[in-house]
Every structure is written in structure tokens, then in C-alpha cells.
Structure 1
Amino acid sequence: MSKETEKQRWQRNFADLLQELRVAQTGVQILFAFLLTLPFSNGFTRTTEFQRDVYIVALLSAAAATAMIISPVAFHRALFRQGRKPELVRFAHRMASGGLGFMLISMVSAVLLITDFVLSRPIAFLLSAFTGVWFLVFWVILPFARRNWGDDDIDDEDDDPRTLAGD
């Protein structure tokens, strides 16, 4: 197998990132749609002021996550065929990371809203904190811990370990 050029590597990195964003985009869109319809349900009138505040945090953070996760598409359109793939990949990485942060806030807020509506507030806070920690374990702690699990790992998409030197 021939060595991957820098241009090919940036193209592959961008394709990988877009695939990841597709997965995140689906999740945040479903959550956002749920939050958009919630005030129109019959039970929403029984929410407390605290629950409405939590709802606003969940809604706005879902909107922010949606904007950030979809923004690489607009950025790609603006830079199309300008040979600026490295800049695009770096921007998309930052937007994906920020979007996941807002998605975390939105999900934990949605859990807090629902659990506070059906359970006591202390239990709601406990379950929401557990949810936040759970997401942090799988989205931050395990991925970053995995980065140190060995230097000789081979990328799943790459049959030739020599091409990893540029990653």
C-alpha cells in the first residue's frame, strides 16, 4: 500500500469527522424536536418555575448543539474548492467538541426536567448528576484514557502501520 499524502490524510480526516457528526446530529435533532414540542403538551402547564428554567436551559443548549454540529456543513460550502481542508477539519473538530458539550448540558437538563417533574427534587438532582457523570465517562474519560493505551495500535481503516506516522 502506498503512503498516504497529506492532502489524502486531511480528506480522510474530514470524511471521518463528517461521519461522526452525522451520528451526533441525529441524536441532538431528536432531543431538540422533543424539547420543541414539550410546551405544547397538556402536562407542561403543571411545571414549576424551576422546571421551566431547566427547560429553557435544555432547549437553548440543544439549539446551540444543533448549530455547532451542523456548522461544518456551512463552513464547507463557504470554503468549497479553495484547498483549505486543514482549516475546515480544525474548525469542524472544534465545532463537534463544542456541540457535544452543549449536547451534554441539554441531555442532563432534560433528565433533570423530567425527573424533577415525576420524582422529588433531591432524587432528580442525584439522577441528573449520575447522568452527567455517565456521559462524561463515555464521552471524555474513556476516550482520553484510551489515547495512552499503547503506541503501536493500528488504525482500523489502515492496513499499513507505516501510514500512521502522519496522524
Structure 2
Amino acid sequence: MTDSGDVRPWGRDETPEERADRRWGDVIQEVRVAQTGVQILFGFLLTVVFTPRFVELGDTDRTIYVVTVLLGSAATGALIGPVSFHRIVSGRRIKPQAVVWASRLTLAGLVLLLGTLTSALLLILRVATDNTLVPWLVAGVVAWYLLCWFVLPAWARHRHTTPD
């Protein structure tokens, strides 16, 4: 409640600055989880080109590899972006705006990570299995990612958000 007795619209008894601090902490925790995974995957992808098997890949698989590395690099940039953003704007009293941009970068990073995982899975399964199964296997895993990362959260947000 505010000094006037009104309930704050966001349901917590915190100032806008406290809310921005809390939301910033939330974003950074989320980024830490995603960033670790994308950095490990990206590091692995960077070594693939130096393996003896890489020279045996056909043009299509090399193209998939290049796309995967580019997506992984972009995902890494987007997921590291909030840290750089915070460092550059720190002390400028724009934390609420920084939280918005950090959230956008994190979401972009997750979408790019989805693309990275999809193309990496496509490449690995093309090399490891019968090509006729690959599109179905990749589609199934991508559907799972979409369900876990986007559909369920959107459903919960819609279901548990009260109209204003």
C-alpha cells in the first residue's frame, strides 16, 4: 500500500526503484541459466570445424554448421547484452528502462538459442541417423522447446493474469 492507502498496481509494496532492482535481479538470474548453456554449446561448435570428420561433410551439412555457429554467436551476444547494457548505463538512473531492454535482449537470446539448438540438432542427426527420420525428430524436439519455453508460460500468463 502507498502512503495514501492505495494498493500499488503491481501487487507489491515497493517503490518503482525497488521494483526495478527486483526485476533486474530476476533478469540476471534468467540470463545466467541461458548464458551458461549457450556458451558451452557455442564453445563446442567452435571446435567442430577442427575435427577430422568435418572435412567429410557435404555442402548442405557445412551450410547448416555455418548457420548454427552464426546463430550461436548471435545468441551469445544477446544473452551477454544485458550485462554490458547494465554496465554502460549504471548510475544514470534509468534502471526501469534498462530492465526493459535487458528483458528484450534476453527474449531475443532465447529465440536465437532455439534456432541454434534446432540447427545443431539437425546437423548432428543428419550425420548420425537415417536422413528420412531427421525432419520428424527435429520437429518433435522443436515442438517440445516451443511448448516449454513459450506456450506454457504464455498460457500461464493468460490464465493467471487478471484484467485491469
Percent identical among aligned pairs is 39
The letter of the residue matching 2:35 is Q
Q: 1:51 aligns with which of 57, 61, 76?
A: 61
Equivalent residue of 1:83, what SS?
Answer: coil
- CA–CA distance in 2 between the matches of 1:3 and 1:128? 46
Residue 109 of structure 1 deviates from its aligned partner by: 0.3
Q: Which ranges of 4 or more aligned residues in structure 1 deviate by more than 6 Å?
A: none
* 1:142 maps to 2:130: no
**Corresponding residue of 1:38:** 48
Post-superposition Cα deviations, 1:16-39, rounded to whole Å, max 9, x if no partner, equal 000000000000001101100011
* 1:127 maps to 2:134: no
Post-superposition Cα deviations, 1:81-123, rounded to whole Å, max 9, x if no partner, equal 1110011001001100110011000001000001001112221
Spell out the pairing of 1:15-164 with structure 2 (5 A cutoff).
Answer: 15-151=25-161
- CA–CA distance in 1 between the matches of 2:113 and 2:106? 10
- CA–CA distance in 2 between the matches of 1:22 and 1:83? 24
The letter of the residue matching 2:91 is R
Residue 78 of structure 1 deviates from its aligned partner by: 1.1
Q: 1:108 to 1:12 in 2, by over 3 A?
A: same
The letter of the residue matching 1:135 is Y
Number of equivalences? 153
Q: 2:16 aligns with which of 6, 28, 32?
A: 6
Q: For structure 1, which runs of at least 5 residues remain unmatched after alignment?
A: 153-164
Over the residues paired in the alignment, what is the CA RMSD in angstroms? 1.7
Q: For structure 2, which runs of at least 5 residues remain unmatched after alignment?
A: 2-11
